A and B are shown apart, each in its own frame.
Chain A
Amino acid sequence: MGRAPASLATLSDDFFRDRSGDDCLSNDGLFCADWAIRNLERYVDPTLEHALLVLVAVVAGFGIAFGLALLAHRKKWLAPPFLAATGILYTIPSISFFFLLLPLTGRGALTAIIALTAFSLQIIFRNVSTGLANVPLDVREAARGMGMTERQAMWRVEVPLALPEIIAGLRVATVSTVALATLAVFANGGGLGSEIVVGSNITFKTGIIMAGSIAILMALLFDGLLILTGRLLSPWERAAL
């Protein structure tokens, strides 16, 4: 087992102090509830950092991917290059991405956010594009035939009708970003990853389970919020039944 990275040393010290004199911990069971409850507070900041990383990355990713998808919808020849570019960004392993970015953006949340944003582009781009492409031809024709300009048809008809697919894309992107953001710690970006890494260094399972569970709950929460938003924004979807 290798040595903990220098930057984690201080965290580890805190950790040992918290742990001292605890039976449950010295037994090193799978999950130590007492400890978890007493140390809940130490998870507040990492959780907020984590949520912020995810939100900023997904919002930025949505902004960029949505813009690209609208552009590619108007100018079809742009779709393949956009798909290829976002595809490459999607495929680069996040950790490699952090290290590639280090010389440019240094260590910190910005580096993590750039990598997470880049990762989300492909998923969102694909979904927005599919949503726009799936707008029925007759609806498009009616919009045009009634005198909507291209812009009006886009914003009043095509984008609203693509909403269910756009939301679906956002859900996948958000949930995977919640998971991926745990790696932000390697770029010194904070988040729940810091708690997991501390734990894994000393094989303290309770810490890993706590941080992991919070990440899962966060993913579920964001997913639920998106489902709710989708429902509120597309009441016709339920009316169809």
Chain B
Amino acid sequence: MPTGTPLALTRVSGTTAERGEDPGSGAASLAYLKASKRYPGAESDAVHELDLDVPAGEICVLVGPSGCGKTTAMRMANRTVEITSGDIEIGGRSVLDRNPSELRREIGYVIQQIGLFPHRTVDQNIATVPRLLDWEEDRIAARTTELLELIGLDPAYGDRYPAQLSGGQQQRIGVARALAVDPPLMLMDEPFGAIDPINRTRLQDEFLRLQERIGKTVLFVTHDVDEAIKMGDRIAVLREGGELAQYATPAELLARPADDFVRDFVGTDRALKRLALIPVSEVELAEPVTVRAGESPAEVMPRIATGSAPHPLLIDDAGRPLGWLDSGQLETGPVPSSAPTPPEPVIETSSTLRDALSALLQAGVSQAPVVDGSGRLAGVISVSAISGFLSAGEDIDLEIPAAARPRG
């Protein structure tokens, strides 16, 4: 029986270390090499010659309609489903060379129904794999506390049973349990599928924040294309028969669907979905003419004359926008301390283009000031700038890791 050394680890370059946080034990690359599964007696493959290359530290989402074989494909990685041809390599090593139970202990596993052990406390649930690996009790206790803190749950919850927790808390415990031995690869099968929409969004955001710190390689299964776009660094769209229809970054998938199947699957609102991927800071903002209260016409008028924008924007001493002025009003006297037109909507650089566009449409204006995190003016964004950005396809090469993207 093949046993032996753990999966080869490839450290994620920089991502966690750069942020000055504890780097995880690392992440492993994952490669499907013409991996197929055919069930005994079946006429055709459930998963057909799947080729996927997931770099270490990235989230790859398998998405597709039900029955497309995405869960089967995922489960081939930890051999809970055995491949019938081809190979899968984790950290460059074939899963077929591994003892299945030992392999699975090195791969985090989260399922939709959570599957917490009802007869074990939260602590004991989290300690499942460490116990299988015969960790010392001290180390298990320390790790359990650390994980509860990581998922934002009071360690006092450790003594409770799963039935005493809410669905969202149970799902977090499920993630903590999967992370217990700091596995280089995580498999997540519709992990938020059974959670109500509000909590689902929160759990998705939490997981992305977590991913920012731990930088795991994640294979994530969902049937929800919006979730795929939100969670994925890369998305593999599968069609019926377990065939790969397209493997691309979310931006590319939305901008250039490979065929009609993918186009239908991602939906007719893909332009809007693209907007949701991009933070306002990525767009080149227009520079408005800014004026401060008390400035004289002699100071202000030349700036207005050379500026491109028709209306000057009044800002305070800290650079915060106060409102729009009429240039005619400035010819005759000093700049007043208040403006007739309020600056709203004011958009933050960290919001998505989708939110920015929505705010513009909602307010019925064509442009709005954009401010940075401290409220200081960064520029002006307009409806035409957003549509120009999209039609130029500038976002396609824009690869923002899912964990670093703006979140609602």
Contacts and interface: CB of A to CB of B under 8 A. Distances in A.
Given A236-B163, A239-B160, A147 B111 contact: no
Interface in A201-240: 234-236, 239-240
A221 B104 CA distance: 46
A139 B125 CA distance: 11
A6 B364 CA distance: 109
B363 to A, nearest CB: 47
A139 B160 contact: no
Given A144-B104, A146-B177, A152-B132, 14 more contacts: A136-B113, A138-B114, A139-B117, A141-B115, A143-B115, A145-B104, A145-B115, A146-B104, A146-B129, A147-B132, A161-B119, A163-B119, A236-B161, A239-B160
Contact of A138 (B103, B111, B187): B111
A164 to B, nearest CB: 10
What is the size category of the interface that chain B forms with chain A? 20 to 34
Contact of B109 (A137, A146, A161, A163): A146
Given A236-B161, A239-B160, A142 B116 contact: yes
Given A138-B111, A138-B114, A236-B118, A146 B161 contact: no
10 nearest A-B residue pairs (beta carbon):
A142-B115, A147-B105, A138-B113, A147-B104, A240-B163, A145-B109, A138-B115, A239-B161, A236-B161, A147-B101
Contacts of B187: 145
Interface in A105-153: 136-139, 141-149, 152
What is the size category of the interface that chain A forms with chain B? 20 to 34
Interface of B: 78, 80, 101-106, 109, 111-120, 128-129, 132, 160-161, 163-164, 177-178, 187
Contact of A149 (B101, B103, B128): B101
Contacts of A234: 119
B132 A145 contact: no
A120 to B, nearest CB: 26
A145 B189 CA distance: 11
A145 B163 contact: no
B105 A146 contact: yes
Contact of A144 (B80, B114, B164): B80
Contacts of A143: 115, 117
A239 B160 CA distance: 8
* B103, B105, B109, B187 — most chain A CB neighbours (10 Å): B109
A222 B304 CA distance: 96
B111 A145 contact: yes
A143 B117 CA distance: 8
A179 interface: no
A71 interface: no
A234 B161 CA distance: 11
B119 A236 contact: yes
A144 B187 CA distance: 13
Contacts of A141: 80, 111, 115
Given A139-B117, A142-B117, A161-B118, A148 B161 contact: no
